[in-house]
Structure 1
Amino acid sequence: MNTSETTPSRVGPPPRHHLAVMIWLAVFPTLTVLQLLLGSLLRGTPTVLRTLVLATIAVPIVVYGLLPPLQRLHRQLLAPRR
């Protein structure tokens, strides 16, 4: 029996440019939606404070909510076909 048939192959981290695209695909829509939802509420605030609020909300959404499914999709698309 060949061990490669019984042992699941582990996929390494994605190439840096793939990761950059995945992050962009998660960050851009998240920031756009947050800006649409909170833009009027944050309109008069200083830029640094507005950025702090948006980043504080966006980072957990991206890291815990959007990147894991994108990484699974990436693995599925690039997994060797059986």
Structure 2
Amino acid sequence: MSVMSTDSITAPAPAAPSAHRRALLTWLAVYPTITAAFVLLGPYLGHLPLPLRTLVMTALVVPVVSYALMPLLLKAERKFARRQGRRK
């Protein structure tokens, strides 16, 4: 007789948002982050060549969006989707 460990029981993964919602969530994270980065760092980076400015901006923006903003937005989207499901 085998005993099933509770470690092997996992909750089902939440459904991923549609491609349209993911695109919207990504835009909601990227646009304000890039805008803020340009406002804050633009005066300091303006003298650099465009490829170097782009490198610095993306080196800062991508981690902020990937590790901070997208998880928050995806969590909010899951809560929103659950509420919408209950209303139907």
Q: TM-score range by the shorter chain?
A: 0.7 to 0.9
Tell me the distance in 2 between the aligned counterparts of 1:30 and 1:23: 11
Tell me the distance in 2 between the aligned counterparts of 1:81 and 1:8: 19
Tell me the distance in 1 between the aligned counterparts of 2:22 and 2:68: 16
Tell me the distance in 1 between the aligned counterparts of 2:58 and 2:12: 36
Structure 2 residue corresponding to 1:36, chosen from 32, 36, 39: 39
Map of 1:53 onto structure 2: 56
Matches within 5 A, 1:14-29: 14-29=17-32
Map of 1:12 onto structure 2: 15
Map of 1:68 onto structure 2: 71
The answer to whether the aligner puts 1:81 opposite 2:83 as a matched pair is no
Q: Identity of paired residues, percent?
A: 41
State the Cα distance separating 1:13 from its structure 2 match: 1.3
Map of 2:3 onto structure 1: none
**Normalising by the residue count of structure 1, what TM-score does the alignment of the two structures yield?**
0.84
**Normalising by the residue count of structure 2, what TM-score does the alignment of the two structures yield?**
0.79
State the Cα distance separating 1:9 from its structure 2 match: 5.2
Give the RMSD, CA atoms, in angstroms. 1.8
Tell me the distance in 2 between the aligned counterparts of 1:28 and 1:37: 14
